[in-house]
Amino acid sequence: MAYISLLAAVPNTLTWSPTVAIVMIVCNIIAIAIGKFTIKYPNEGPAMPSPNLFGGFGLPAVLGTTSLGHLIGAGAILGLSNLGVL
């Protein structure tokens, strides 16, 4: 029975706003900067359509860095909303 009450405890979810979008964009930029300094061969694999726009990254590096950025961003958004900042 205690398990059912645990399932009923749903945390507050944050609605989308431009502030949330800015936090996600900043987190993606931070992840791309981390990738720029840590990926040994950033231009391996298929090339992106405009390499200058993507910092010379190939497709795997872009997918990897933006995936990391979304993970960081989700944590930052949930943490900031839990603190009451967002």
Within-domain flag for 34:
yes
Residue 17's region, left for phi above 0, alpha for psi from -120 to 50, else beta, is beta
Report the number of distinct structural domains present in the chain: 1
Within-domain flag for 3:
no
Contact between 56 and 67 (Cβ < 8 Å): no
Within-domain flag for 5:
no
Q: State the average pLDDT over residues 64-79.
A: 94
The predicted model scores a pTM of: 0.78
**Residue 2 confidence (pLDDT):** 60
Q: Give, in degrees to the nearest 5, the angle at Cα 59 between 53 and 37.
A: 70
Sorting pLDDT into bands at 50, 70 and 90, what band is 69?
very high
Contact between 65 and 19 (Cβ < 8 Å): no
Residues contacting residue 48 through CB under 8 Å, at least 6 positions apart = 54, 57, 58, 59, 62
Domain extent at residue 69: 18-83
- 1-57, pLDDT tens digit by residue? 566 766 776 766 788 899 999 999 999 999 989 988 998 888 888 877 877 777 788
Within-domain flag for 39:
yes
